Amino acid sequence: MTSTTALLITRDELLLDDLLRLAAAAGCTLEVAHDAPAGLRAWSSATVVLVGVDLASRVAEQRPPRREQVHVVGHGPAPDDAFRHALGAGAVDVVELPGSETWLVEVLTDAGDAVAGRRAGRAHTVGVVAGSGGAGATTFACALALTAAATRAATLVDLDPLGPGADRVVGLDGADGVRWDGLVTSRGRLSSHSLRTALPAKDGLAVLTWEMGAPTELDAASVREVLSATQRGNDLVVVDLPRALDDVTAEVVTRCDRVLLVTDPTVPGVASAGKVAAVLRSLNPRVEAVVRAGRGTLPAAQVAEALGLPLVADVPRHRRLAEHVDLGLGPVHGHRSALARAARTTLGLRSRQDRVA
C-alpha cells in the first residue's frame, strides 16, 4: 500500500469536519476510515494516525501493531475511559479540541512534509552578504541557488528589501507565485511542501522575494517560520541578506551553516567589507570570503587575508552578465561560465567539464 499522509478513524461527523479543516490548513491529505477494521488496513502505511474518542475502544480491541505517531482525538474534556482505550490502541496521548488545534496542525504539517518526499533533518543553509554596495552578492546568491537546483531541491530566500529582486535576476520577473507580502500575515506552522509549491519557480529553483514597490515590513515570527519551512523542505537554502542587518536578518545569520561575504578587490571595497565582516563574525563564526576579481588591483588572496577570512572563490567578471540578466536568462547562462564554475566550487560540486579541466 502506498504511503498515506494521515489516517483518521472515526464516525463522529463533527470531529471529522474539524480535522478536515485542520488538515487543509496544514496542507496534508487525510484518509478517513469509519470503522476499526478499515482503519487497520491503512494503519502501518500512514505517517500519523488519529483515532477518534468514539472508536478508540474498538481500535484497542483489534490490538493493532505498535507504531509511533498514534493519537486519540476528541472534543474536550475527554471521558475517563479514553486514556485506558488510548493505551490499548498504542496511542501516546489523548488530544482535546479545540485547545490543541495549533499543536495538531503542526503534527499534520510534519506528516504532509514527510509524504511529500521531504527529507528528515534540515537543509544546508548559506547566507550571502555584500561587503559594499554593488559587490554582486545578489548575483552570486542567484548563481549558487540555480547551480544547486540542477541536482537537488533548492530555494532562494531574498531578504534584501532594497536589492534588485532575486526573481528578476534569475529570470522570474512577473511570474506567478507567493511573495513576502502574501506571507507576513500568515500565522502558525507552514507546510514546507505547500510553501515550495506556491513560490515562483524556474529550473527546479523556488524563489521567495518581494513585490514591486515599497517593500513589506517583515516580522521575526514570519521570517523564522518561513526559514524553518524552507529548511525542512529542501536540500539547500540560499539566503540573500542585506548589508545593513536588523534584528530579524541578524537572527537569520545565526541560523546559517555558512555565510559568504562578497567583496570588491578595491581599497574602499575592502574597507567597507571589513566592517561588515566584524558584524557577521559576532553572529556566526563560519564567515568566508568571495572576491569579485577584475574590479580592482588587489589579489583575491590578499583581500581575504586583510579581512581575516578564508577565501572560497575568486569570481572573474562576466562581460555579458548584465545582458543575460536583462534577457531573463539568469546569471549562469552556460555551465562553463566563470560564475557557474565559482558557484560549483563554493558548493563543493564538480561538473564533467571541471573534471576534464
Mean pLDDT lowest for which of 48-62, 172-186, 280-294, 338-352?
338-352
Q: 205-208 and 201-202: which strand pairing?
A: antiparallel
Flag whether pLDDT at 355 surpasses 70. no
Whether 303 has a pLDDT exceeding 60, the answer reads: yes
For range 54-83, the mean pLDDT: 92
pLDDT of 20 higher than 80? yes
Angstrom distances, CA of residue 88 to CA of 7, 59, 83, 204, 269? 18, 8, 9, 46, 68
Mean pLDDT of 269-273: 95
Q: Is the pLDDT of residue 351 over 60?
A: no
pLDDT bracket for residue 116 (50, 70, 90)? low
pLDDT of 324 reads 60
* CA separation for the pair 2, 18 (Å, rounded): 25
pLDDT of residue 242: 94
Distance CA 137, CA 128 (A): 6
Query: What's the pLDDT score for residue 11?
Result: 97
Say yes or no to pLDDT of 221 above 70: yes
The pLDDT confidence band at residue 188, using thresholds 50, 70 and 90, is low
Segment 236-244 shows an average pLDDT of 95
Residue 295: pLDDT above 70? no
Give the cell for residue 325.
540578466
pLDDT above 80: residue 243: yes
Is the pLDDT score of 24 beyond 80? yes
Least confident range of 89-93, 191-195, 272-276:
191-195
Buried b (16+ CB within 10 A) or exposed e, 187-217: eebbbbbbbbebbbbbeebbbbbbeeeeebe
CA distances, 226 to each of 57, 141, 194, 273, 357 (Å)? 40, 18, 11, 28, 40
Q: How confident is the model at residue 312 (pLDDT cuts 50, 70, 90)?
A: very high
Looking at residue 74, its pLDDT comes to 95
Higher pLDDT, 286 or 103: 286
Q: How far apart (Å, rounded) are the C-alpha atoms in residues 126 and 115? A: 26
Strands 258-263 and 124-130: parallel
Choose between 334 and 97: higher pLDDT. 97
| 8 A C-beta contact, residue 190 and residue 166 | no
pLDDT at position 163 is: 87
Could you give all domains of the chain from N- to C-terminal order, each with its CATH number? Answer: 4-115 (3.40.50.2300), 124-356 (3.40.50.300)
Percentage of the chain lying above the pLDDT 70 cut? 86
Q: For residue 3, what pLDDT is reported? A: 47
Q: Is the pLDDT of residue 117 over 70?
A: no
Name every residue whose Cβ is closer than 8 Å to that of residue 317 and which is 6 or more positions away in sequence. Answer: 292, 293, 294, 295
Q: How many whole angstroms separate alpha carbon 211 and alpha carbon 258? A: 28
Q: What is the tens place of the pLDDT at every residue in 75-110?
A: 988 888 999 999 999 998 999 999 989 889 888 887
Lowest mean pLDDT among 29-43, 85-99, 241-255, 319-333: 319-333
Lowest mean pLDDT, pick from 136-150, 212-226, 240-254: 212-226
Instruction: Report the mean per-residue pLDDT for the chain.
Output: 86
- Percent of the chain beyond pLDDT 90? 54
Q: Which amino acid is at 322?
A: A
Q: 327 falls in which pLDDT band (50, 70, 90)?
A: low
